[in-house]
Structure 1
Amino acid sequence: MTKKPLSNNKTARKLTRNEKQRITIANLALIPSVIKDYIDALIKAYNPTFTYRLKAEFFYYIITTIIKRQNTYENKALENIPVALNATILRGIKSDYNEYIDWLIEQEVIFKAENYVHGLSSNKYCFADFVLPSLKLDSTSEIVEMKALESSKVIVARSIQESDVYEENKHLLKWFNDGLEVDFEKAVTYIEDLSYHEGEVVDLTHKKVHWNHQISTLHHKAFYATRNEESDFRLHTVLTNLKKIFKPFVTYEGQELVGYDLKNSQPFFLIFLIDSILNSNSRIDNILSKIYSKKVYNTFMLQKLREVLSTEDFQKEYEVFKTWVLNGEIYENMESIMNPKKRLGSYFANKYIARKKVTEKKKMDNVRALMKGVIFTLFFSGVNTRNSDYKTFKKVFPNLVTVIELFKKNANANFSKLLQNIESECIIDFVSKKIAKEYPEMPLFSIHDSLSTIESYAHVLEDLMHKYVFEYTGLMPKIEEERWKKFDYQIDYKKKVELHPEWY
């Protein structure tokens, strides 16, 4: 039986100093009913004997954590990929946590990936073939409470107000309350009927497991919030993991949501980064110090950066690239230098799949999407990539690419972390806080580089987002409006049903 979620409207008490040093996990979690029923039946039948007293909730926590991590941005395909579990959190909950993982493996609920290398990589887990068919046949989920997992090292937050990031992000997180709703029945029907996704008629069964989990989490108001200063520093919530195709079903107090995205955000923040170094803007210093050691940045990196940035050749390249970005036409202009070719009426991009260690061709709907992929390859691939698009771009902008590669010198991931930290400080810690202070009554939600509100405040948000992004960066941004109810994919889907009813 589904347990009733605790109220999210309770006043949160302040944490003590000792509590602040403890790890915080959310009390409410969503687990597929078929897995929970299977685990409960096995526990009842065999009563597994562990070092310390058995807590079934720990099994549920492991399962829900795997699903949540499979629902991340990195797993765009929403496949059953192996994901790492946080050993520090697991050990804080139960010192004998490996007994629980081993038991789930023995019962063929999960399995451990074989690419683990001691000292070099973490153990990774995904669902076993034994349970996958059941997940695909029955997508219902159940809310479970994790209060039993509280320990001297772990706090179980009864609501989002008790999460360890609530106070510093209260201006955004306070709106995760009973007013935030999803039209659950229509969303479920939409998932059941969907067989066409991202340009292809494909087997969507495992994606649907994740999609149902996303909308069920929102429907049951199992709200959560995380923000890790050691990684991207982005604010992650139930909305940041929600697939765009479900936006038309989401409302706040019955009103439509309207979002404003910072166009070309990653290239935009690259321009801000370079301008800040050129102009010795102290605003960037704190972010750089989080990603790079003072020794690395102040000696080698800063010296090399200033050396390249001061050259005439770089200045010429940078003027062109900066104009493209600030005019919001970077992808359109890149088409002229990349000269993409259509095959069989479509564009195709070479995409390296790390877990398979192969390069696959991915069909792209339009040339803009193709060029966006080139930028992401430029920003997030390794400096030794063999990607042909990367090489073509580097021929046209060799000095700009040299600057980007300097930020990747010690680790490829450092550059993406740097841009994401800049984005987060700008949008979360500056822009949204300024807006919330000026209009405290305006509902405000963030999804990385975008902010959303209800329709009656849309014009206010649009004006203020322009104003405060400019105030933070000194650059005039291009802001795109996105009406959640009129999301293009929903419209396209209806047209596809009319044109190809046999697919549905």
Structure 2
Amino acid sequence: MSKHRTVFLPRNLEIEVLITERPPEFRPFNQDHLRFILHQISNIYARNNDRYSDARVPLNSSILVRYISNYQDYLRYLIDCGIIETNGYYKPNEKSRCYGFSKHYRNVELKGEVITNRLLLAKLNSSLYRGDEYHEATTKRGYLTKHFGSGKLIIDGVAATEWLDQSFQPDQDVYKKGITAINNFKEQNWHFSLSEKGGRLYSDLTGIKKELRNFLSYEGKPLVEKDISCSQPFMLLGLLKPDFWKHPNSSTEFRLRNISDEVWSKYKCSNKYFNKIVSHINMLVNSYEIGHGNGFDDIQLYRDLVGDGSYYDYLTMMYQEECHERFADRERIKKTVMWIMNGNQYDLYIPPGGMKCNPIELFSMLFPSVHNFLVLLKEIGHEYVARLLQGVESFIVLNRIGRRINKERPNMPLFTIHDCIVTTIDNEAYLEAVMLEEIEKHIGCRPSIKTKCWTPKNLQ
């Protein structure tokens, strides 16, 4: 059991000075409890600063009370002292009240302090006091989260911190997030959750800055990632299989209802609409099987491009040819295409005589059948396409590949970062073979897999 825990506070906040000048009037009071609550604000914001634009983060009362029974006294004290602020908004069982540092303590460098309170440390080191998100993730995905608890996933904290120091200023959010993530790996302080909408597994590995992953190793061995090229566009091919929309006979079948019962119910709320989707897919499949020259050749082109991983390269060439400087780089094109796939259906409407450089119009010219299928799927709400594609990804990566490897090689280190799977360098050939086999089995097409070894040399 860890005999201490590092917490991060604003550098200009001196706890001893604060409690001397403003002695707390409530009891019981403990300095480490105060540090822990302040750390929750800085830690949650560091992990998710892209989600909280006003620098205020939700504090879950059901979790806080497990560690500190009178946590509300601490929060009121910190507000009265002008250390933190709150929006005051709270909705039972739905939205936690949000807290953030006041302006004087907000945009400053963080400093690490150590808490040693034995009772608090015992709770922090016990999984019994974790939140429901943690328990759900470790229960449903324990065959993946168990590799974090082995104590063998190690970060070179000194080298990682040196890279942060050379790359960013200490008061930048990216630095704060990085230094917090490094410390969590050093102290083996893991957090897990499952996405309610897409079923993705979130962990400290998904949250750490990608450059910092180059300082990780497992049992002293280098780690290798296997990434599915053009993942989201590739997963769309799974939705074009007629069997995908059928009622499942078992929980292991690649069926919409097995992926998301909520999305299944949404599409099935209107039999007329559901049958319209199925008829459209059957029409596309039958036309594809008859042969080329029937107006659906773009399906084959799309399939070839996402299958061999050249989809974004092809779109980059086409968009630059038509739109010139408007789409000068591949990343901008990738974001635009993802917006076309997941955006509001009204954004996808193409007015007659639209601009030549309209990205939606150009996409629909290149892939008319794919575009029309996306518009059809979004008639009940554009957000369900993203949920579907993430659900397909999670079903294959977590349920099929992850479970199979856990059954065949239960001691093999295995980590996931959404559409990317990570293992040690001595297991990479086996991992890629399983990925190719399972993905082709469910999607009906063999993907392109990109390989990258994590090493600090990648940052030179």
2:219 is matched with 253
Q: Secondary structure at the match of 1:140?
A: strand
Does 2:181 correspond to 1:214?
Answer: yes
Deviation per residue, 1:101-155 (Å, 9 max, x gap): 55444444443469x799998754444321135x42x4435467896597xxx94
Partner residue in 1 for 2:104: 130
- Structure 2 residue 440 is the aligned partner of structure 1 residue 465: no
Q: 1:483 to 1:420 in 2, by over 3 A?
A: same
Q: In 1, are the aligned partners of 2:316 and 2:333 still within 8 Å (CA)?
A: yes
Name the CA distance, whole Å, in 2 between partners of 1:121 and 1:391: 40
The answer for the alignment partner of 2:85 in structure 1 is 111
Answer yes or no: is the 8 Å Cα contact 1:29–1:146 preserved in 2. Answer: no
AA in 2 matched with 1:305? I
- Which ranges of structure 2 fall in alignment gaps of 5 or more residues? 249-253, 288-293, 350-357
SS at match of 2:345: coil
- Contact 1:225 1:237 (8 Å CA) reproduced: yes
Q: Which amino acid aligns with 1:419?
A: L
Q: Tell me, yes or no, if the aligned pair for 2:85 and 2:102 is still in contact at 8 Å.
A: yes
- CA–CA distance in structure 2, aligned partners of residues 399 and 342 of structure 1: 22
1:175 aligned to 2:147? Answer: yes
1:26-85 Cα distance to aligned partner (Å, 9 max, x none)? xx97531447964565456545457x966764873474256335524x829x97744444
**More strand as a share of residues:** 1
Equivalent in the alignment of 1:224: 191
Q: 1:243-392 alignment to 2 at 5 Å? A: 243-276=209-242, 280=246, 282=248, 283-284=254-255, 285-293=257-265, 296-297=268-269, 299-309=271-281, 310=283, 315-339=296-320, 367-385=329-347, 388-392=358-362
| Residue pair 1:226, 1:235 contacting (<8 A) in 2 also | yes
Structure 1 residues 257, 130: CA separation in 2 closer, same or farther (over 3 Å shift)? same
5+ residue gaps, structure 1, are 7-27, 196-201, 350-365, 492-504
Give the residue type in structure 2 aligned to 1:172: L
User: Identical aligned pairs, as a percentage?
Assistant: 21
Matches within 5 A, 1:395-410: 395-410=365-380
- 2:172 pairs with 1:205: yes
Is the 1:247–1:487 contact (alpha carbons within 8 Å) kept by the matching residues of 2? no
- Name the stretch that deviates more: 410-419 or 430-439: 410-419
Aligned-residue offset at 1:275 = 1.9
Equivalent residue pairs, number: 429
Report which of the two structures shows the higher radius of gyration computed on alpha carbons: 2
Q: Which residue of 2 aligns with 1:64?
A: 40
Instruction: Show the counterpart of 1:241.
Output: 207
CA distance in 2, matches of 1:126, 1:409: 39
1:207 positional shift? 1.3
1:474-499: CA deviations, max 9, x gaps? Answer: 321211111001664x03xxxxxxxx
Q: 1:266 to 1:273 in 2, by over 3 A?
A: same
Q: Secondary structure at the match of 2:225?
A: strand
Structure 1 residue 169: deviation in Å? 2.3
- Superposed displacement of residue 429, structure 1: 1.4
Letter of the aligned partner of 1:404 in structure 2? Answer: L
> Is this contact kept in 2: 1:82–1:124, CA < 8 A?
yes
- In the superposition, relative to structure 1, how do residues 219 and 91 fare at CA in structure 2: closer, same or farther (>3 Å)? closer
Q: Kindly tell me: are residues 148 and 194 of structure 1, through their superposed partners in 2, closer, same or farther at Cα, counting changes over 3 Å?
A: closer
Q: Residue 137 of structure 2: which of 155, 165, 173 is its match?
A: 165
Q: Once the two structures are superposed, what CA deviation does each residue of 1:455-487 show, in whole Å capped at 9, x if it has no partner? A: 222222222222222233332121111100166
Cα distance in 2 between the residues matched to 1:144 and 1:340: 62
Q: Distance in 2 between matches of 1:341 and 1:203?
A: 43
- AA of the residue aligned to 1:368: R
Q: Deviations over 1:380-404 (max 9, x none)?
A: 3333348953454245445433432
CA distance in 2, matches of 1:300, 1:36: 63
1:140 is matched with 112
Residues 194 and 316 of structure 1, relative CA distance in 2, 3 Å threshold: same
Find the aligned partners of 1:408 and 1:143 in 2 and give their Cα distance: 51
2: distance between equivalents of 1:447 and 1:487?
21
Structure 2 distance, partners of 1:39, 1:79, is 27
Q: 1:183 to 1:486 in 2, by over 3 A?
A: closer
Cα distance change of structure 1 residues 412 and 139 upon mapping to structure 2, 3 Å threshold: farther
With normalisation by structure 1, the TM-score equals 0.71
Q: Given residue 174 of structure 1, which amino acid in structure 2 is its aligned partner?
A: K
Q: 3-state DSSP class of the match of 2:103?
A: coil
Of Structure 1 and Structure 2, the greater helix share is in 2
One-letter code of the match for 1:242?
I
AA at the equivalent of 2:180: H
Q: Secondary structure at the match of 1:255?
A: coil
Once residues 445 and 226 of structure 1 are traced to their aligned partners in structure 2, the CA distance between those partners, rounded to angstroms, is 14
CA 1:102/1:211 → structure 2, altered by over 3 Å: closer, same or farther? same
State TM-score, norm by structure 2.
0.77
